[in-house]
Amino acid sequence: MEEKKISKVIDLKRIRVTDAFWKKEIALVRDTVIPYQWEALNDRVPESEPSYCMHNFKVAGRINRKKEQDPDYVQPVYTANGFCVWPEDPENPEDKFYGFVFQDSDFAKWIEAVGYILQQFPDPELEKTADEAIDIVCSAQQPDGYLDTFYIINDISRRFTNLRDHHELYCLGHLIEGAVSYYQATGKEKLLDAACRFAACVAEHIGPEPGKLHGYPGHEIAEMALARLYEVTGQEKYRDLGLYFINERGKKPYYFDSEHPSEIQSREEQRYRYHQSHLPVREQTEAAGHAVRAAYLYSGMADYARLASDYELEAACERIWEDITRRKMYLTGGVGGTSVGEAFSFAYDLPNDTAYAETCASIGMIFFARRMLELNPDSKYADVIERELYNIVLGGMGLDGTSFFYVNPLEVVPEACHEDKRKEHVKAVRQKWFGCACCPPNLARLVSSVGTYVFTETEDTVYVHLYIGSHMEKQLASGLAQIDMQSGFPWNGNVSVQVACESEETFTVALRIPDWCGKYRLKGIEGAAMREEKGYLYITKAWKTDTFRIEFPMEIQVVEADTEVRETIGKAALMRGPIVYCLEESDNGKDMHLLKMDENASYETEQKEISTESVIAIKAQGWRQRKVQNKRLYNTHVKAAYERTVLTWIPYYTWANRGEGEMQVWTRI
Amino acid sequence: MEEKKISKVIDLKRIRVTDAFWKKEIALVRDTVIPYQWEALNDRVPESEPSYCMHNFKVAGRINRKKEQDPDYVQPVYTANGFCVWPEDPENPEDKFYGFVFQDSDFAKWIEAVGYILQQFPDPELEKTADEAIDIVCSAQQPDGYLDTFYIINDISRRFTNLRDHHELYCLGHLIEGAVSYYQATGKEKLLDAACRFAACVAEHIGPEPGKLHGYPGHEIAEMALARLYEVTGQEKYRDLGLYFINERGKKPYYFDSEHPSEIQSREEQRYRYHQSHLPVREQTEAAGHAVRAAYLYSGMADYARLASDYELEAACERIWEDITRRKMYLTGGVGGTSVGEAFSFAYDLPNDTAYAETCASIGMIFFARRMLELNPDSKYADVIERELYNIVLGGMGLDGTSFFYVNPLEVVPEACHEDKRKEHVKAVRQKWFGCACCPPNLARLVSSVGTYVFTETEDTVYVHLYIGSHMEKQLASGLAQIDMQSGFPWNGNVSVQVACESEETFTVALRIPDWCGKYRLKGIEGAAMREEKGYLYITKAWKTDTFRIEFPMEIQVVEADTEVRETIGKAALMRGPIVYCLEESDNGKDMHLLKMDENASYETEQKEISTESVIAIKAQGWRQRKVQNKRLYNTHVKAAYERTVLTWIPYYTWANRGEGEMQVWTRI
């Protein structure tokens, strides 16, 4: 069998994002989100639930020091049952563990984003803050490498007894991701060593050998993190541990049952699906359960499909990919149709107003997609990355950079969010921070590393997946090639690329043809062999100093969902380029269920200011159904009467930046 | 101020239901439901959760006997915390309390239905069974009159400590209702005495006097039951206790807080609304909280508005009535838009697929409506009774009489019920019995007493509220008047009435003009003064031996909801007479979201057999949207293409009698 050609991710050191649109976003993360997060980790954000993240590390560190200083010191044992315990006096918390069991990961996500920023923007002051934080975190580590403050503070003898719910391996995964990022930025090994030691400690307790626990994480991420740690350190034990988690998952008898024997009777199939542990992963055929966990698992599966050339694993990934993107993904890229278990719902069940569509799940989809791209350069993966980035990722963060959405609905009626407990999870305005702060720091690490999603490479090919203006360097046999791309995305489809090689050399530039376009106009290429394959235009020539342009016409598109989707039947939405549009009350008034699009409307773009953002809005003639004034709730049907109205759509990612109001992506047509 | 003219309910002894349609339903209750219920109360229904109702009474009786026989006997004390405890071995339960805290009420509802049946159909064998059951129940009563097996068995010292959750006063209320019914049927006083003694015991502990608890029921019903007990016994202490419950409810500081001080901090406004205890009842302006509780409370309020000529209370009832019927009631009469708290949702929030619309809540609406009718003969109340009866009440029971719906959705996709936890409460097929068996016995007591809803009377007027063929007797100054009504309802609107008086005497017959019709053709009346007022046609004349006919044209009506109702925008439904229609998969195929009604269709009726029922179905030309075969989930919109199809509607009450399938009341138009 031909060995698979892997197209490799390029790390941030070799990429410089020059894109006006994204530089602004990255700067927001650098200048606003990261400092804000640091305040949040230290419980200094007013009117926001404290994180207790750094508090917990400090408490664990103090316990360690006491033990060192006094061999007779007996650590108090607290109950380690709770998922979430808050202090009675938040101003003066005691030396206990507070917050969710996974609170440590807040730091890890922060340091990961810090690492990405430092790789691009040296900042000694930020690095100093980070080093001090790392000292605090490392002070909590146990002599054997264990590093999870929930058990260190509460009762270390109980560690590894509840892999299903207690997120130790999740914290390990995030710690690795953060440590690698910071190491790559600074070359400093302290946190990387700590992460390696924690991973080694876990490998001492969990694995195939007799006497070890045959478990796996309740919340996946360690799988892909360990793959990354292996790639950075070259140490196979990390790869082996991650692969063990992948292989062990879903085997019968269920490991989680051995941890929770009293629940076996009452446990439903559904419960196993929540953790994607209902079947061995290679037998799974559809996306199931908690969407973030799922996307992280599938990402890890794709990693090991690559690292182990495991075609069976790759086939499982591909089946699941198709299931998600063909049956379980919102137009915005959101995944997780149900708030029950924050999970994938059944095929085509995509309710707009009760959607979960967690920001983190979309970030997980980006991870999954990039890994699939590495295995198989098919534009369908990069199309999803683009869809997630310009809609959910950008929309997950307010334009102010200090307010965030967990849940990304496609339809909101504020009254329903306030009054209807079934929509409790849906917020009509972004929240400042969350006690369970997974999404904001996840956004920060994604946006700050967005440059790594632009290109991948093989020996002889540079793939351009995203049209985010960037500069990158490629090592060729004859020397370095500088590749510089300018792009008008997401507002226009004009891209220009300069290639400058030290010496003339033949290689290929492969340009993604976006799914929302399918066509392009190429200018300035001569003497090249060109072919299209799986959504990429491959341009092979001897490059020296070349400039070419490619234009993707960005037309307004009226889109509809498959007729199997009950929630959108009779409705349509607008897209332009990668951007999904929505109607907001600010522009279109209340009672948006009365609005209707006109089949024959002509759509026009218009520059519009939304808070600090200048965007392209779309206007068209549409209809507003007349309200009928009746004495009764139910009346004889009369053909609906409509009056003309102008409908104004704005980019979905800018919704909820002008106060609370109705919003909808899908409108009757 | 002019004293209010009350139109009085006529008890079953003076009414005989002769209606072909309803005789069949009553016979089903008599011959099938009541015997089936008796088996259920005794845990003898296979494949159904045991009730433990009679078990608990027997256990309590055994404890009493042991105490009598052995003065040193020490009763074991169990924990009385649980709401719902089931035995480890259901075949051989121990001498403990099992089931929900309100399990006693199962018996009470059964005996109430038995009483109604015996009032109409003497049945010595049934009466013997009932007497034996009553002996068992009374054996559980304490020397001071207390009679709630949950506390008698678990720990009687803790009685009255959790009025909010533990349903003692709910059980009292049902016991009174059952006891009065059985007393009215048989003249036997044993159960009535037991109920009176329990009520007196409660009055010893709860009331305005110092040293008593200033509480009220967590689940209302005792209010209206005590009003009824007062009317039967003439003893004012029962009326005073019920009125105390009404008056005390919602006062600050909240009584339930005094029972549950630890919850005060975390208790939300919502939580008080659940029990309708967020405001004093006279200040309440909208229907709120658990819909069954709410409807029972409003019924009680209407009782005391009448008994105490309390206009402020009546005004509150009227405001709430308008809120429900103008903003919070489904087309079927269902109330309770949200499964969260089985509660009223906010105004116009009437989702079809996640509806709660509990059968019991609709029965509660019938109670409320009848009481409002007594205060104020306005057809709007009787219209609701009719809507509830022909849709939710009939639909709540399978045509076999042994399967039941708790929840009455207006749209069902079986896959969603199975896969989607948000719709867990929605069943696509009727269930055999329920561990929490409130609806089936409630249906039995309602259907068996349906005759009491047909007429009310004042001294000089007989009101005909429902066109259910019946015979009634009215006492006039000059002797008895026999009134005999035949009706084609619900299949045709032809009604004929014979009046036969011992002597000629002038009085009024007031006939309701149904809201779905608004017009009528009257034949055979001569020399009468006629006027229309609040939806009634008042015919005043000297009656002797008269026969007249009134015809209400039963045309098929295409109806729509107010434009404020988001869930039904762009949709319509069919009604014919009082009957709401629906589409079922059996007749119309799968994927009913693709169906569309034709604005210009002509609708035709057709006789159709659904299981054992011969009904009028409706057929019309309609449309089925063509499925679009696409590779992707989201595609460029193309104007929807439709193909002709014949749509077949059946009465809503007959749905889910032909296996599992999709159903919808509202269809796109």
Helix/strand/coil for A557:
strand
List the single residue in B422, B628, B637 with the smallest CB-CB distance to A422: B422
Half-sphere exposure of A304 (CA within 13 A, CB side): 27
**pLDDT tops 60 at residue A59:** yes
Rounded CA-CA distance B605/B607 in Å is: 7
Per-residue pLDDT averaged across B401-413, rounded? Answer: 92
Rounded CA-CA distance A11/A231 in Å is: 12
Nearest CA among B193, B190, B186, B76 for reference residue B134: B190
A636 to B557: CB separation less than 8 angstroms, yes or no? yes
Chain segment B5-35, per-residue pLDDT in tens: 889 999 898 999 999 999 999 999 999 999 9
Chain segment A257-295, per-residue pLDDT in tens: 999 888 877 666 667 899 999 999 999 999 999 999 999
Looking at residue A80, its pLDDT comes to 57
Rounded CA-CA distance B303/B298 in Å is: 9
Looking at residue A432, its pLDDT comes to 78
Contacts with B572 from chain A: Cβ below 8 Å: 637
User: Exposure pattern of A268-285 as b/e (b: 16+ CB <10 Å)?
Assistant: eeebbbbbbbbbebbebe
Rounded CA-CA distance A134/A186 in Å is: 13
Identity of the amino acid at A323: D
Nearest CA among B265, B272, B408 for reference residue B335: B408
Rounded CA-CA distance B143/B126 in Å is: 29
| Model confidence band, residue B429 (pLDDT cutoffs 50, 70, 90) | confident
Nearest CA among A79, A81, A78 for reference residue A260: A81
Mean of per-residue pLDDT scores for chain A: 94
Looking at residue A1, its pLDDT comes to 42
Half-sphere exposure of A448 (CA within 13 A, CB side): 31
Instruction: Render A16-63 in DSSP notation, one character per residue.
Output: EE--HHHHHHHHHIIIIIHHHHHHHHTT--TTS----HHHHHHHHHHH
Chain segment A95-127, per-residue pLDDT in tens: 899 988 999 999 999 999 999 999 999 999 999
Rounded CA-CA distance B613/B607 in Å is: 10
Helix/strand/coil for A143:
coil
| Model confidence band, residue B422 (pLDDT cutoffs 50, 70, 90) | confident
Cβ(A501)–Cβ(A542) below 8 Å? no
Percent of chain A with pLDDT over 70: 97
Cβ(B617)–Cβ(B648) below 8 Å? yes
**pLDDT tops 90 at residue A346:** yes
Which tokens in the block code for residue B378?
Answer: 């306005």
Query: Taking CA atoms, what residue in B is nearest to A414?
Result: B346
B669 to A637: CB separation less than 8 angstroms, yes or no? yes
Which spans in A249-341 are helix H? 255-259, 269-274, 291-307, 311-327
Looking at residue A30, its pLDDT comes to 96
Can you name the residues that pair with B472 across neighbouring β-strands?
A: B15, B483
Identity of the amino acid at A141: Q
Cβ(B83)–Cβ(B100) below 8 Å? yes
Helix/strand/coil for A567:
helix
Query: Taking CA atoms, what residue in B is nearest to A270?
Result: B419
Contacts with A557 from chain B: Cβ below 8 Å: 636
- Non-local CB neighbours of A60 within 8 Å, separated by 6+ positions: A139, A140, A149, A152, A153
Rounded CA-CA distance A172/A242 in Å is: 11
| Model confidence band, residue B97 (pLDDT cutoffs 50, 70, 90) | very high
B630 to A345: CB separation less than 8 angstroms, yes or no? no
| Model confidence band, residue A434 (pLDDT cutoffs 50, 70, 90) | low
Q: Which of B353, B595, B633 to mutate to test the interface with A (most CBs of A within 10 A)?
A: B633
B340 to A422: CB separation less than 8 angstroms, yes or no? yes
List the single residue in A270, A354, A561 with the smallest CB-CB distance to B633: A561
Chain segment B362-377, per-residue pLDDT in tens: 999 999 999 999 999 9
A635 to B559: CB separation less than 8 angstroms, yes or no? yes
Peptide bond into B122 cis (omega under 30): no
- Non-local CB neighbours of A128 within 8 Å, separated by 6+ positions: none
Query: Taking CA atoms, what residue in A is nearest to B639?
Result: A599
Which spans in B347-438 are helix H? 359-375, 379-387, 394-395, 414-419
Instruction: Render B635-649 in DSSP notation, one character per residue.
Output: EE-----EEEEEEEE
Contacts with B637 from chain A: Cβ below 8 Å: 558-560, 572, 669
> Which range (A163-172, A350-359, B5-14, B175-184) has the least confidence?
B5-14
Peptide bond into A490 cis (omega under 30): yes
Rounded CA-CA distance A66/A69 in Å is: 5
Chain segment B544-567, per-residue pLDDT in tens: 999 999 999 999 999 999 999 999
**pLDDT tops 70 at residue B315:** yes
Rounded CA-CA distance A592/A583 in Å is: 8
- Encode B161-179 in three state secondary structure: CCCCCCCHHHHHHHHHHHH
Q: Specify whether A342 is catalytic.
A: yes
Per-residue pLDDT averaged across B62-89, rounded? Answer: 81
Nearest CA among B259, B185, B183 for reference residue B218: B259
Identity of the amino acid at A557: Q
Contacts with B570 from chain A: Cβ below 8 Å: 570, 640, 668
Which tokens in the block code for residue A47?
Answer: 């009117």
Alpha-carbon torsion B262, B265, B271, B272, what sign?
positive
Alpha-carbon torsion A320, A326, A331, A336, what sign?
negative
Which tokens in the block code for residue A469?
Answer: 């203006």
Per-residue pLDDT averaged across B90-118, rounded? Answer: 92
A vs B, Cβ pairs < 8 A, gives 134
**What is the pTM for the complete model shown?**
0.92
Taking the mean position of all CA atoms in its chain, how far away is CA A353? 21
Length of chain A: 669
Rounded CA-CA distance B275/B257 in Å is: 12
Rounded CA-CA distance B614/B618 in Å is: 13
Chain segment B491-532, per-residue pLDDT in tens: 999 999 999 999 999 999 999 999 999 899 999 999 999 999
Looking at residue B365, its pLDDT comes to 98
Per-residue pLDDT averaged across B344-349, rounded? Answer: 94
| Model confidence band, residue B267 (pLDDT cutoffs 50, 70, 90) | low
Cβ(B616)–Cβ(B648) below 8 Å? no
B515 to A632: CB separation less than 8 angstroms, yes or no? yes
- Give A423-427's long-range contacts (Cβ < 8 A, gap of 24+): A423/A353, A423/A354, A425/A339, A425/A356, A426/A353, A426/A354, A426/A355
Q: Using DSSP, how many helices (H) and how many strands (E) does chain B show? A: 20, 23
Can you name the residues that pair with B624 across neighbouring β-strands?
A: B595, B643
**φ, ψ for residue A520, nearest 5 deg:** -165, 165
Mean of per-residue pLDDT scores for chain B: 94
Q: Which of B634, B636, B639, B663 to mutate to test the interface with A (most CBs of A within 10 A)?
A: B634
Which tokens in the block code for residue A208?
Answer: 């195939």
Per-residue pLDDT averaged across B37-50, rounded? Answer: 87
| Strand B461-464, strand B494-512: pairing | parallel
A560 to B636: CB separation less than 8 angstroms, yes or no? yes
List the single residue in B346, B563, B591 with the smallest CB-CB distance to A627: B563
Half-sphere exposure of A122 (CA within 13 A, CB side): 4
- Non-local CB neighbours of B452 within 8 Å, separated by 6+ positions: B9, B10, B11, B12, B15
Rounded CA-CA distance B399/B420 in Å is: 27
DSSP B667: E
Rounded CA-CA distance B530/B25 in Å is: 35
Taking the mean position of all CA atoms in its chain, how far away is CA B282? 23
Contacts with A535 from chain B: Cβ below 8 Å: none
What is the CB neighbour count within 10 angstroms for residue A668?
Answer: 20
Can you name the residues that pair with B501 across neighbouring β-strands?
A: B481
Half-sphere exposure of A269 (CA within 13 A, CB side): 5
Cβ(A443)–Cβ(A33) below 8 Å? yes
Looking at residue A436, its pLDDT comes to 63
Chain segment B572-624, per-residue pLDDT in tens: 999 999 999 999 999 999 999 999 999 999 999 999 999 989 999 999 999 99
Helix/strand/coil for B128:
helix
Crossing angle of helices B439-448 and B359-375, in 10° steps, is 40
Contacts with B278 from chain A: Cβ below 8 Å: none
Looking at residue B1, its pLDDT comes to 42
Rounded CA-CA distance B152/B136 in Å is: 14
Q: Which of A269, A350, A633, A664 to mutate to test the interface with B (most CBs of B within 10 A)?
A: A633
